[in-house]
Structure 1
Amino acid sequence: MGERLKELADRASKAVHEKTRLTAKESIKLTITRNLDHNTTRYNEVKSEVKRVEQKLAALLAEQKDIFRSSKGMRMELEALGKEWAEFEAKAKAAEEEEKSVEAEWGRMKDLMSFIKGMI
């Protein structure tokens, strides 16, 4: 009977010990579950933010590409104008001289008309 009593006490001690271990394991499980839930939520938030940043980056890259293309076209136009600039200046100078010539001729015609009017 003494042995049975000792065996019963050992079994009870083991049961209490196992119950204590189970409680500790449950606490660890709850902590890990809470941390996992937090990580999952944060992962999804970061994933959404990354998607938003990727979309913004794609839009900026497209804008940069358009600006580059547009700038390249403007540069080509500017170079073409530069090649023709001397010709434009020469034509503008000739037009200025023609304008002066027309002005002078008009002045002479006005004088002639005034002279003719004075004779009539």
Structure 2
Amino acid sequence: MEESLKELAGRAAKAVQDNNHLIAKESMKQTISRNLDRNLIRYKEVVSEVKQVEQKLTALSAERKEIFRSCKKMKMELEALGKEWAEHEPKAKVVEEEEKPVEADGEE
């Protein structure tokens, strides 16, 4: 009987120890679950932010390309005007020179 009581006390102590161990594991499980939930929420937020950044980059890239095309067109127009200017400048000087005697006649 005494041995039975010792065995029973040992089993009760083991049961209490196992129960405490189980409670500790359950606490760890809850902590990990909360952390996982928070990480999942943050992950979704980050994915959303990345998508927004990608969309903005796409829009900025398109805008950059449009600005480049516009600048290229303006450069071509400027070069064409430069050529026209070069062609017309000598003619303008001739006309200017021709007008000087006329102006001098008008002043007299």
- TM (norm. structure 1) is 0.75
Measured on the aligned residues, the alpha-carbon RMSD in Å equals 1.9
Aligned equivalents of 1:13, 1:71: Cα separation in 2: 85
Aligned equivalents of 2:15, 2:54: Cα separation in 1: 57
Aligned equivalents of 1:11, 1:17: Cα separation in 2: 10
Determine the structure 2 residue equivalent to 1:111. Answer: none
Q: Which amino acid aligns with 1:84?
A: E
Q: Which amino acid aligns with 2:69?
A: R
Determine the structure 2 residue equivalent to 1:24. Answer: 24
Aligned equivalents of 1:95, 1:15: Cα separation in 2: 116
Determine the structure 2 residue equivalent to 1:39. Answer: 39
Aligned equivalents of 1:56, 1:88: Cα separation in 2: 47
Q: Which amino acid aligns with 2:27?
A: S
- What are structure 2's unaligned runs of at least 5 residues? none
Aligned equivalents of 1:69, 1:34: Cα separation in 2: 52
- TM (norm. structure 2) is 0.82
Aligned equivalents of 2:59, 2:94: Cα separation in 1: 50
State the secondary structure of the residue aligned to 1:4: helix
Once the two structures are overlaid, the 10-residue window that deviates more, 87-96 or 18-27, is 87-96
- What are structure 1's unaligned runs of at least 5 residues? 108-120
Q: Give the share of equivalent positions with the same residue, in percent.
A: 67
Determine the structure 2 residue equivalent to 1:57. Answer: 57
Shift in Å, 1:83: 2.3
- CA distances 1:42-63 after superposition (whole Å, capped 9, x unpaired): 1111111111111011100110
**Residue 86, structure 1, aligned to residue 86, structure 2:** yes
